Structure 1
Amino acid sequence: MATEAHGEEAGLVFHPMDQFIIKPLFGGDTIHWYTPTNATLWMGITIVAIFLLLVIGTRGRAQVPSRVQSIGELAYGFVYQMVEDVAGKDAIKFFPYIMTLFMFIVVANFLGLIPMSFTTTSHFAVTLVLALAVFFTVTIVGFVKNGAAFLGLFWVSSAPLPLRPILAVIELISYFVRPVSHFIRLAGNVMAGHAVIKVFAGFAQVTTVAPLAVVAITAMYGLEVLVAFIQAYVFTILTCVYLKDALHPSH
């Protein structure tokens, strides 16, 4: 007990997962579905930031673009090329949806790196909704465009006939596992990185290891900037892969 008390007095007790707690904006402990929280606040800030970047920042359509317009055009061209290369030209009609996904995730990830902010993409509730939206969109598109032929996605016609039923079961299971891996990958990586930064920040309070902790925080922060973009890219490119399967289901 004396050791714990001494640790608390020295400021060595820290809880890296506290940064992910959802709290009401206007006090209280009860959260209903309509309660404004720190999560809804930062999702709103994310939407405003995207609007400022892609709408306000590019409204001039200048021949010599400003820095903001250049960023918006780079993001547009990057996602457009990704959709065309991965899912094919007939998937371009879904570009607005995929662009929205990418921009929301990447901007939310970057905003989450601001000190004292809240990272919305670290919560499974947010990434699960995004993943389920992709899953149902892709599935509906597959059946609408191909009808019963969409089931050919699960029938590996190139495999020996005795193995095809077994492979069909495996393909079916893997198809329904897609949204699980889709949302866990994003939230898990974002959450882990922020938790590690908080741990190093706690060690920075200890005089003997403070310099090393500061170096570690700087390195981890730089890595998290890279992870913020990579995770948005991975989520988006997987969406394009799933869309390609829906548009061209035959093996």
Structure 2
Amino acid sequence: MAAESGKIDPMHQFEVAPIGSGFDLGGQEIMFTNSALWMAVAAILLAVFMIGGMKRQLVPGRWQAAVEGFTNFIAGMTTQSIGSEGRKYTPYVFSLFMFILFCNLVGMLPLGVFGLHPFTATSHLAVTGVLALLSFSIVLIVGFWKHGLHFFSLFVPQGTPKVMLPLIVPIEFFSFMIRPFSLALRLFVAMTAGHLLLKVLSSFVISGFNADTLWLGSIVSVLSFTLMIGITALELLVAGIQAYVFALLTSLYINDAVNLH
């Protein structure tokens, strides 16, 4: 956690570390890492949340109401974004939203006081990149399955003068191909920046109490800790917003593949 100088290393929290020994697969060593562990924890917690809230009670309890609330929210979003065919893609978008949300929230759990440090999987570009490529692949599959080669008309906006096509088509194609990168980077940057800020503030708290001038150090520590509380609340909000933005953009991209323009 700390560097050799005794100072807190804010980047240490993002280090992917192997857990146990790996095994060889086709000449490649496969390791189970802390990132995989906490993604599994998020998936298990999500499964428990869904199973516990799927009771068909006449008067729904809070747990069932929460699950139904999330389900109706995503179903409404996909229907609004895609149209009547949106319900076909609701299960995927819902799974994507909930998994990202739980990964974000698991990384915020205050387990460090027990010596257990949670890992935010969505703070790694490899994880967000795979999720973005999965969504982008679905867009391509749906687009070519539904429209065939006519899918390429997506790069030709309606009403575009023919003389402008050599300029517009490459721009539209580039903006389309950049979508998975923007999806992955947006989530990765948002989660990484927040956790870095919290770690830096925590170093101020510790350094303040260890300062030679106790009264001045105490002021710095108290102010930093107060700011940490506010940033933590903001990070919880960002965790939900980023999951929503990822799911919403995925719905909009699927809409382009379903309805073209």
TM-score, scaled relative to structure 1: 0.90
Distance 1:75 1:106 in 2: 11
CA distances 1:140-184 after superposition (whole Å, capped 9, x unpaired): 110110112111110123122211221111000111100000101
Whether contact under 8 Å (1:157, 1:164) holds in the other structure is no
SS in 1 for 2:11: helix
Shift of 1:222: 0.5
Shift of 1:66: 2.2
Whether contact under 8 Å (1:53, 1:69) holds in the other structure is no
Residue of structure 1 aligned with 2:104, choices 95, 100, 109: 109
Q: Structure 1: state its 5+ residue gaps.
A: 1-6
Whether contact under 8 Å (1:156, 1:164) holds in the other structure is no
Whether contact under 8 Å (1:149, 1:249) holds in the other structure is no
Shift of 1:33: 5.5
Whether contact under 8 Å (2:21, 2:31) holds in the other structure is no
Residue of structure 2 aligned with 1:20, choices 14, 18, 24: 14
Shift of 1:62: 1.2
Aligned to 2:246: 235
Aligned to 1:224: 235
Shift of 1:100: 0.7
CA distances 1:51-101 after superposition (whole Å, capped 9, x unpaired): 11112x124211222222121111101100000011111121111111110
Distance 2:10 2:59 in 1: 45
Distance 1:104 1:219 in 2: 25
Matching of residue 121 in structure 1 with residue 122 in structure 2: yes
Matching of residue 37 in structure 1 with residue 38 in structure 2: no
* 4+ aligned runs moved over 3 Å, structure 1: none
Shift of 1:27: 7.2
CA distances 1:105-135 after superposition (whole Å, capped 9, x unpaired): 0011011101321101111111111000111
Distance 2:247 2:178 in 1: 17
Distance 1:157 1:132 in 2: 27
SS in 1 for 2:182: helix
Aligned to 2:93: 98
Q: How does 1:144-155 map to 2 (within 5 A)?
A: 144-155=145-156
Report the AA paired with residue 48 of structure 2: L
Shift of 1:26: 2.7
Whether contact under 8 Å (1:122, 1:190) holds in the other structure is yes
Distance 1:60 1:85 in 2: 27
CA distances 1:2-40 after superposition (whole Å, capped 9, x unpaired): xxxxx94xx5x1111100101122379xxx653111111
CA 1:33–1:127 in structure 2 vs 1: closer, same or farther (change >3 Å)?
farther
Greater relative contact order, per chain length (Cα 8 Å cut-off, separation 6+): 1
Whether contact under 8 Å (2:53, 2:66) holds in the other structure is no
Residue of structure 2 aligned with 1:65, choices 53, 60, 63: 60
* Number of corresponding residues: 239
Q: Structure 2: state its 5+ residue gaps.
A: 23-27, 111-116, 210-216
Distance 1:15 1:200 in 2: 12
Moved more, 155-164 or 191-200: 155-164
Report the AA paired with residue 231 of structure 2: M
Distance 2:178 2:157 in 1: 18
Distance 1:100 1:128 in 2: 16
Whether contact under 8 Å (1:153, 1:249) holds in the other structure is yes
Report the AA paired with residue 48 of structure 1: I
Report the AA paired with residue 87 of structure 2: I
Q: Percent identity?
A: 38
Matching of residue 47 in structure 1 with residue 48 in structure 2: no
Q: How does 1:182-221 map to 2 (within 5 A)?
A: 182-205=183-206, 206-207=208-209, 208=217, 209-221=220-232
